[in-house]
Amino acid sequence: MSIRHGLLALLERGPRYGSQLRTEFESRTGSTWPLNVGQVYTTLARLERDGLVAPGGEDTAGHTLYAITETGRRELHAWYERPVDRANPPRDELAIKLAMAVGAPGVDIRAVIQSQRHATVQAMQDYTRLKAQALAAIESGRSGERDDIAWLLVLEQLIFQTEAEARWLDHCESRLVRLSARGERAPAEAEPPEGGTTDPTTPTTTDRSLSRTARTRRV
């Protein structure tokens, strides 16, 4: 999530001060990406340095207000129109963990997958419950509809993400099972009998293949 552009989006609705921006940001995203006030003010300082926001006076309580500039508004709308770049995907801790667990001594990678699958399914259930609550709030009109719809979109993205993660974990386990089975078969097929020679009376794989071909042709 781009905090920089998220703050610009909130400021486009009118001047705001730091803790107000933090509260509205968390409300819009359901606290999925919590911010601290220091992070907000650091980002505001950079936005001001880049000419995207400017101090906008003070409110009645003495809070310093920030307002979006025309340059900031152009940057915000360019962000809306620009696809998210996937050329450099963010680091995924789970993918890194499984990659490192492959072949690691003393690590049961299938147990790692099973543990993560349990947590992923639990998260999916939690997100689904929150989605039902958000839908109920929208339908009843109990709170600000715009924030509830924004939170609903975030929740649905998290649900799709956990569903994909669960499928990927199933795929990883299936892949490991196939590779393990192939590794167990390979020595039996590749190693000759003790002594380094093959009993001439024992049919080889090639002999069996030729025999099957001959029977097929006779039929």
- Residue pLDDT, tens place only, 101-113: 988 999 999 999 9
- The amino acid occupying position 146 is R
Do 123 and 163 meet the contact criterion of CB atoms below 8 Å apart? no
Question: Regarding predicted confidence, which is higher, 1 or 4?
Answer: 4
Nearest-5° angle of CA 164, CA 178, CA 196?
160
How confident is the model at residue 207, as a pLDDT? Answer: 46
> Which H or E element spans position 54?
strand 53-58
Q: Which tokens in the block code for residue 35?
A: 């911010």
Q: Which tokens in the block code for residue 95?
A: 């993918």
pLDDT in tens, 6-15: 999 999 999 9
In percent, the amount of the chain with pLDDT more than 90 equals: 56
Give the CA distances from residue 16 to residues 9, 36, 40, 166, in Å, rounded to whole numbers and listed in that order.
Answer: 11, 16, 12, 41
SS3 content of the chain, % helix, strand, coil (to 5): 65, 5, 25
pLDDT in tens, 63-98: 999 999 999 999 999 999 998 888 877 788 999 999
Average pLDDT along the chain: 83
Residue 16's beta-bridge partner residues? 66
Do 173 and 134 meet the contact criterion of CB atoms below 8 Å apart? no
HEC string of 23-43 equals HHHHHHHCCCCCCCHHHHHHH
Do 47 and 73 meet the contact criterion of CB atoms below 8 Å apart? no
Q: What is the rounded average pLDDT of the residues 32-53?
A: 93
How confident is the model at residue 186, as a pLDDT? Answer: 57
Supply the DSSP string of 55-120, one letter for each residue.
EEEE-TT-PEEEEE-HHHHHHHHHHHHSPPP-SSPPP-HHHHHHHHHTT-TT--HHHHHHHHHHHH
CA–CA gap between residue 158 and residue 156 (Å, rounded) = 5
Q: At which residue do the structure tokens 């990927």 appear?
A: 168
What DSSP state is assigned to residue 144?
-
Query: pLDDT-derived band of residue 123, with 50, 70 and 90 as boundaries?
Result: very high
